[in-house]
Structure 1
Amino acid sequence: MKNIIKIVLLPVLCVGLLAGCANSADEALSLKKNDTLYQVSTINSLLAGNYDGFISSGELKNYGDVGIGTFNALDGEMVMIDNTAYKVKSTGEVVKVSDTETTPFAVVTHFDKDATVELTNIANLDALKAELDKLIENKNLFYVFRIDGTFKTIQARSVPRQEKPYPVMTEAVKQQSVFSFTNVTGSIVGIWCPDYIGGVNVPGYHFHFISEDRTQGGHLLDVSFDKALAFADSTDGFVMAVSPTEPEGSVKDLGSELDAVEQ
């Protein structure tokens, strides 16, 4: 049973030049492990309006093949699946991302299935979370989920590219576009973080969706389905690249601001 969280913070220059950072040599080895979650910046920084990308999509692929995030200037929702990054734009268009495009916030891992379960008769997002709760054996660990199936309904959103001076995220999401899909085959990619991670990432669940044909997707707001396969990967390692820039805004009430941007 995994029971130890290994947390490593890497300055951005060391992430980009690991061979030249003697103090980070051992930590760099952990990035190649399946049981390591690699994160770009913190959710607090993103909430406060720090949307400047500083890690490229190409570099991100070195640290994981499944994950979620966003892009420079908060330009759309990221879904990484099968080691390919996709952007869901606020227009609803889905594009494959070039390796040079950057991210201010993302979470990825080398997905290694620890559990597989068939889920049935899921009426909404809360019901999905309740079923996935059964796969979380240790609430001190991180969990990454992939759920494949044909979904009766999907409600998702994306946020348009922001211009400087960047607004805080609670203001940016007021411009979001919401999409509704029916009878769509695809994958939900999700992260579950422990309660103690608040400020670093979103405590609890955070899901993105992408269709099998890679033409529809977004940040998941709601879902229903009759049957789907859920795969879980528990993760006891955590490595974060710290943003080199400071946000102009601030986070006044983490809980309420997270609620506002997640819904």
Structure 2
Amino acid sequence: MVKLHIKHGDESHFLYETTTDMPMDALLEDVVAIYNGRLKVHRICGEMEQLEKHGITLPPNMQGLTDEQVEDLKLKDEWEEKCIPQGGAKFNKDTIGCRNGHAPNDKMKEMLKKTMQEAKDLISKKKVEANALVTQATVKEALDMLRGAVMIVYPMGLPPHDPIRNEFENTEDLSGKQASLEVLDMSNASLWWAGKEMQRGKKLADYLGKNEKTKIVAKLQKRGMGAPAREAPISAEDQKTMMAYYYNKQEEWKRMEKESEDSYLDSPWADGNQLKRQFQGMKDVKWGPR
């Protein structure tokens, strides 16, 4: 099986395993789905962090308003009484004004935090170092874990305008957000290796040959941006280690040179009285204790 270390820019994302016979169209579709799925998991976790702190999202017409403005406009959140977290709510006002402040209790909070961490670990970049694969099934498992945790805390469900619910239902609107710049689409995605774009309509074997034990670094990016930067000969971590090693060596040499500046004075040839003692026959005399 061929292993692809998928990167976006200089950032590692995941390891992907396939065969040399796989068509590039199918490969790219699978890789893009995993890449976007990982982004979705992180977006949901980011929203769930706010959910466990400040409760559900307010209706769009109430977001960002002060309590006085809400009262003056006679606005009411009809979902506040419907979406009460299991075990009761604990009020924690959202200073930004996006959520209603009725947060889950401490027990439910810990459950949400634990689930978020487990989901992140499933699709973590550290799995590259551990030589572990990430697949669409892995991403689905992480999403199912997050969905299950939210359903436990909010068995009645979340409001239709809550971004977490939108993410689970794939109805999220990322327009105008930073996240929209990160998501890739099959129509604008490309995969590069060795400075060449791996063209659709071909097979992986057209680039790597038939060797099934190959491992490469492939870079995923939007089309039309030109070739991505080539991989550095050594990693940034290795470079830091080498620089630290040679710096320590240099400091050691400086210290040794400083210590040896006067060491020649202990040599026999540097003894100014050596010739005098030789004429007096006292060259090899060893003086004992008086």
Shorter-chain TM-score tier: under 0.3
Greater helix percent: which structure? 2
TM-score between both structures, scaled by the size of structure 1: 0.20
TM-score between both structures, scaled by the size of structure 2: 0.18
Higher relative contact order (CA 8 A, sep 6+): 1
- Structure with max Cα Rg: 2
